[in-house]
Amino acid sequence: MQICDLQSSTGRLKRSAKTLREKWKQTQEHWNDKTSREFEEKYLQAIFPEITLAVAAIQRLNEMLEQAERDCRDRDDS
């Protein structure tokens, strides 16, 4: 019995970050001035490293939950 599905959430987060990156590149084709650079610096440059850290943390949590499920299953089988 799987308690929760963090893998699909991680996949959605990664895809969303990729889409954001692509959309921002498209936006820059039409909006490339001081304000856009300030926006990128203030918001976007900070978000991608945070997403990377979040994905790593979610994956680690998923591993821990899977191990806990295995441990509980093994205990029930004994």
pLDDT at residue 64, as a whole number: 92
Q: Return the half-sphere exposure (C-beta side, CA atoms, 13 A cut-off) of residue 67.
A: 6
Residue 35 within any structural domain of the chain: no
Per-residue pLDDT tens digits for 19-78: 999 999 999 999 999 999 999 999 999 999 999 999 999 999 999 998 998 899 887 776
Residue 68 within any structural domain of the chain: yes
Residue 2 within any structural domain of the chain: no
CA 5/CA 72 separation, integer angstroms: 17
pTM attached to this predicted model:
0.76
| Planar angle of CA 66, 7, 56, nearest 5 degrees | 85
pLDDT at residue 37, as a whole number: 96
Q: How many domains does the chain have?
A: 1
